[in-house]
Amino acid sequence: MTQRFSFALHATDGKARTGMISTPRGEIRTPAFMPVGTAATVKAMMPESVRATGADILLGNTYHLMLRPTAERIDRLGGLHKFMNWDRPILTDSGGFQVMSLADLRKLTEEGVTFRSHVDGSRHMLTPERSMEIQKLLGSDIVMCFDECPALPAPRERIAESMRLSMRWAARSREAFGDRPGHALFGIQQGGDIEDLRGESAEKLRGIGFDGYAVGGLAVGEGQEIMFKVLDYAPGMLPEDKPRYLMGVGKPDDILGAVKRGIDMFDCVLPSRSGRTGQAFTRRGVVNIKNARHADDPRPLDESCSCPACSQYSRAYLHHVFRSQEIISSMLLTWHNLHYYQVLMQGIRDAIAAGRFDAFEAEFHAARAMGDIEPL
Ligand SMILES: [Zn+2]
């Protein structure tokens, strides 16, 4: 197995790409979907179950882990992989986005962000240097630059100022990360929905040089239409021979549209969070398992799905355990949703390799337009 981080493109179809990221901890097939393991667990799932769905890599959240149980404790216990019993690649975010959305009493300066923990009120500071240190203590395979971004819509001045600060932080992140063979550092493009600012950001990042590049500052309230409009030009500003990651996205149709525009990696809490609230993703759209129509339905959630929820249980059972608030409800629906996402990604990869991405996309939308199976 390789001891270095590398990326190889295997095929393209229009702007859509399929390939492979190689790391010392394993290979990541792209386009890839990363389940989110916020607090060193993908909620309601055993790590081996997450792997069984087809996930090659997980995402961990710096902000949550630095507050509890702390990066220093995880380091003492042998690192995040050992701590959570996941030996494959892990990508960690920088903490920047979650500090701005979750922490109390935030203060943003050139140096970094000071804030109070939402867990116990303790005071902390995150800087590019501290974020790199935490991600190293965790043992993350793919480290993200520390950055900051406004919710959209925002005025141009605010977007520009924030992007330029993030680019200065990107240079500091690169410097602090140093030379760590086998580990990757990704830069994050900012610039909101303004094309020339996206270009300025991409140029800065390319000048610094990273192992991969994220399109940041999207999925922050702008809606799919604006997101796609930005993705029509933003990924093409980033190096072609490095992976491109769209952070925090998304719904199945968001992912399909982003792959079509040149994105290789995704993460989102949607499949796991929805699993806990009774929402199941299927080829024919979202099924709300709590609806009374499922109470007597002996059929599987999705007859074409091979996950445990669909192959071993009925809609009636899934409805019952959700209504009864049984733990197995979250377990089965999360497994199903993560399985659905990974099957979708495999379908996308196969379609790109076969040069039939457009046909795959048309079939995807046609199946969803049918809606759920008729009630009995
Ligand atoms: Zn299933």
Question: Could you tell me if 333 and 365 lie in one domain?
Answer: yes
Single-letter code of the amino acid located at 129: E
Question: Could you tell me if 176 and 292 lie in one domain?
Answer: no
Question: Could you tell me if 11 and 104 lie in one domain?
Answer: yes
Cα 141 to Cα 181: distance, rounded to the nearest angstrom: 10
Tell me which residues have their CB within 5 A of the ion that is ligand 1.
Answer: 305, 307, 309-310, 336
Q: Is 147 annotated as a binding residue?
A: yes
Helix (H) or strand (E) holding 83: helix 80-84
Question: Could you tell me if 212 and 118 lie in one domain?
Answer: yes
Q: Ligand 1 center to residue 193 CA distance, Å? A: 36
pTM of the model: 0.97
Pick from 268, 301, 322: which residue ends a domain? 268
* Residue 104 confidence (pLDDT) above 90: no
Name the pLDDT band for 150 (thresholds 50, 70, 90). confident
Question: Could you tell me if 239 and 314 lie in one domain?
Answer: no
List pLDDT tens digits, range 243-267. Answer: 999 999 999 999 999 999 999 999 9
Q: Which of 251, 273, 290, 300 is nearest to 33 (CA)?
A: 251
Q: Is residue 102 part of a domain?
A: yes
Q: What is the CATH number of the domain that holds 195?
A: 3.20.20.105
The number of distinct structural domains making up the chain is 2
Query: Is the separation of the CB atoms in 148 and 96 below 8 Å?
Result: yes
Question: Could you tell me if 304 and 242 lie in one domain?
Answer: no
Q: What is the DSSP code (8-state) at residue 151?
A: P
* Residue 119 confidence (pLDDT) above 60: yes
**How much is the pLDDT for 281?**
98
Tell me what the pLDDT averaged over the chain comes to: 97
Name the pLDDT band for 126 (thresholds 50, 70, 90). very high
Q: Is 145 annotated as a binding residue?
A: no
Question: Could you tell me if 354 and 234 lie in one domain?
Answer: no
Question: Could you tell me if 74 and 163 lie in one domain?
Answer: yes
Q: Is 241 annotated as a binding residue?
A: no
**What secondary structure does DSSP assign to 263-284, as a single string?**
--EEEESHHHHHHHTTEEEETT
Question: Could you tell me if 253 and 287 lie in one domain?
Answer: no
Question: Could you tell me if 178 and 309 lie in one domain?
Answer: no
Pick from 268, 297, 313: which residue ends a domain? 268
Q: Is residue 248 part of a domain?
A: yes
Task: Look up residue 219 and give its two tokens.
Answer: 């999925």
132-154 average pLDDT score: 95
Q: Which of the residues are catalytic?
A: 93, 267
Q: Is residue 1 part of a domain?
A: no
List pLDDT tens digits, range 184-195. Answer: 999 999 999 999
Decide: helix, strand or coil at residue 161.
helix
Give the length of the chain.
Answer: 376
Q: Ligand 1 center to residue 59 CA distance, Å? A: 22
355-360 average pLDDT score: 98
Q: Ligand 1 center to residue 65 CA distance, Å? A: 31
Q: Ligand 1 center to residue 346 CA distance, Å? A: 15
List pLDDT tens digits, range 72-87. Answer: 999 999 999 999 999 9
List pLDDT tens digits, range 293-347. Answer: 999 999 999 999 999 999 999 999 999 999 999 999 999 999 999 999 999 999 9
Question: Could you tell me if 222 and 320 lie in one domain?
Answer: no
81-95 average pLDDT score: 98
Determine the distance from the C-alpha atom of residue 157 to the mean position of all C-alpha atoms in its chain, rounded to a whole number: 28
**How much is the pLDDT for 2?**
66
Pick from 268, 295, 310: which residue ends a domain? 268
Percent of the chain clearing pLDDT 70 (strictly above): 99
Return the CA Rg of the chain.
21
Q: Is 14 annotated as a binding residue?
A: no
Range of the structural domain that residue 153 is part of: 6-268
Q: Which of 359, 345, 374 is nearest to 54 (CA)?
A: 345
List pLDDT tens digits, range 13-29. Answer: 999 999 999 999 999 99
- Which own/partner pairs from 159-163 qualify as long-range (CB within 8 Å, at least 24 positions apart)? 159/190, 159/191, 159/192, 159/193, 159/194, 159/197, 159/217, 160/191, 160/194, 160/197, 162/190, 163/190, 163/191, 163/192, 163/197, 163/200, 163/201, 163/217
**How much is the pLDDT for 1?**
54
Q: Is residue 376 part of a domain?
A: no
Query: Is the separation of the CB atoms in 45 and 337 below 8 Å?
Result: no
* Residue 61 confidence (pLDDT) above 70: yes
Question: Could you tell me if 150 and 297 lie in one domain?
Answer: no
Q: Is residue 244 part of a domain?
A: yes
Q: Is residue 298 part of a domain?
A: yes
